[in-house]
Structure 1
Amino acid sequence: MPALGMAQDTGLIVAWHKSEGDAVKTGDVLFEVETDKATMEVEAQADGFLNGLRARAGEEVPVGNVIAEIGAEAGVPEAASAAAPSPELPEGASVIMPALGMAQDSGRIVSWHKGLGEAVAASDILFEVETDKATMEVEAGTEGFVAALLAEAGEEAPLGAPIAIISPEAPSNPVQLSQSSAASAARAEVAPANEPAVKPAEVAKPAPKAPAAPRTDGRILASPKARRLGLEQGLDLSRLVDAGHPQPFHVADLEFLKSLPATAPQGMTAQSRRLTAELAQDGFADFEGWAAETAGLDDANALLAGLAASSLKGGDAIVAVEAAGRSLRYAIAGGLGDVAHAETDVLPDILLRDLRMSRVTTVDLGAEACPVLTLTRSGPGLLITLECAADHLTASESVSLLSEFAGRVEQPLRHLL
């Protein structure tokens, strides 16, 4: 069970897209998982056959627990073929490989700051982890003693995999394992090879992907990865709609899209939306000065990003801000509640262009890879323009986003209170 967020403890399996014994390829969608923040598709990380399903649709599974295996042969879980008995893991709270980025699959242990048997506080630095974007220190998260280290310095561990165990009492037999040995031990503890937690017959086969009725709102349903790869490769997902291909679209459907006869040059879908809102006064200018003087918030771009994110349902988003020749990305949680810098190569949920200091008064640049909000001068007030592709936001979602953002820019303090 992967970790889809920093504070996630469990995940609810919504549906399986593959059945016991099915052949799978890297990138195939295995199942959908739901947390309190979002529902996401989880893809296979290797080629092979799906074996040893240990959780049904509708079950809540702790992060880091093994829920299935991908083996070289159908019906032969890796745990069943293990030659040597796995060491028994001590009891305690598991420390998992955390999610430090949106596109992270694994992390490399740089070094351990605590050794076996050492006492730790919840705020103590336990280890350093490196991804392809950054190196960060990770805290223990719980108080106790280091009872097991399940990965060695220099090893890669998958996102959500247990890499340490902290027990409430000093361990009599602390365990040090490599990541491969730890994975075998975890499989053995979750479900012994001779007692699978869920028999193949008990796992409901997923319903075949039936053709869906054409949508009338112009929106295209696609997984985040399929949408991102489509944008990167210049593929127009609307051609799948025209071909009658069933939605939602996944990565595997892109191959079918590439096989379609070439017609017009592929690129962004032709349908786009453009809405404008006019504000009589620029309420953000006064708020910007107040925030810097009273609250010590002197990053105007971060404030704008927070207002844009809070205009979305949930208030969690990656917002890119382009202003004064600079481009910055912010990771927003809960609107203005938690604002931090994000990785620069992550596709944002919203692009915000602040042209208040330029001579540009109106914009009509067309849809881009994500919805774009642009601020321009209009006398003593502001003009806010929203441009997006039709498959990014429905008509009602577009109106809601622009209305919410315009209201927050016009009266920022009112929305904070």
Structure 2
Amino acid sequence: MYLLENKGVTAPKGFYASGIHCGLKKNNSKLDLALIYSEVAGNAAGVYTKNKVKGAPIYITKEHLINKKAQAIIVNSGNANTCTGDDGLLKAKEMAEFQAKALNIKTDDVLVASTGVIGVPLNIDKIKNAIPLLSKKLSTEGSEEAAYAIMTTDKIKKQLAIEFTIGDKTVTIGAIAKGSGMIEPNMGTMLSFLTTDLNISSELLEEALRESTKISYNRVSVDGDTSTNDMVLIIANGLANNEKIVSKNNDYYNFLNALNKINVSLAKMIARDGEGATKLIECIVYNAPNKEDAEVLSKSVINSPLVKTAIFGNDANWGRILCALGYSGININPNTIDLYFKSELAEIKVCENGKAIFFDELTAKKILSKEEVKILIDMKSGTEAAVAWGCDLSYDYVKINGEYRS
């Protein structure tokens, strides 16, 4: 298995992409419309936000995926097309219709996504007028432009690809993603689009996507807000010509492992790129009674504003971590918990059996000053573990979100 960091959604056979500026963003230098296209229709699946308030594109995409087929994805940034009523639904549908006509494919084979400001009517004319150029610019080198075009407050583009083998065939998965704020376990203002040339049944493709999302994007938190437009979409066009995967055999699990690797990598990129973030935080809860408890506990710590601000200030305030474990809703024994901080510099134990121990505060401060910090929590009450990812909470987070619409 090879991780291809400079490749994205066009790495698999038969996929093309493009990204342009259509005018939804005020800054002419920022791309705001992206297209991903497969030369043949493929099996497809999606996972969506659990927020009760959903963007119009989600309803259209779910409708188009009833047959579990897709050939293209059109995405705009700069406007979420959310809380826009029937007008928003009509415009999301028109995005698919206009794009389908330009590509000479079925409207139902076009999936739609949007991200940006909520509650503002979408200027569909800007998108309609740009679709001819967007379609003309499709190329096997277009993944990077597409990755830039879906960004909002992201500081960095997020794209990856992975190569692996099934039998004697080389299979590739490519992806682009966006997300840096309103990220909370169960997804928040994050979009991820995956392409693969794997030949797999639509049922197993959907199951693999759901399983992979659980241990990747659903374990990321930036600020505890769950957004309205989040979705993860995947298209598998079968052009790798491997023997079709129709059961959970070794080939299926090879694919799932590769899918997990790419999704976890993107999830960590999203956490690292949190609005105003200076550090990636990884919280590992281990020796818990079961995996479900470990997951809830790790998320509770990652979600805590007090833990986030302590990490930002390089403050080994381990009491805040115990506090977050205590209000998680999980029945824990605080008198068995050990806590550690770890980075590339060193590892230090700061709490034993839920009580204070002596540790060198200066060493702890140096450990916490690194760009990647791990919080290790030994529950000493079982054998299961889980990990969640997040970021620190800085002054810039308030500045970015206080000025988002301006």
Where relative contact order (Cα < 8 A, 6+ residues apart) is larger, the structure is: 2
Class of the TM-score when normalised by the shorter of the 2 chains: under 0.3
**Structure showing the higher helix proportion among its residues:** 2
> Computing the radius of gyration over CA atoms, which structure comes out larger, 1 or 2?
1
TM-score normalised per structure 1: 0.22
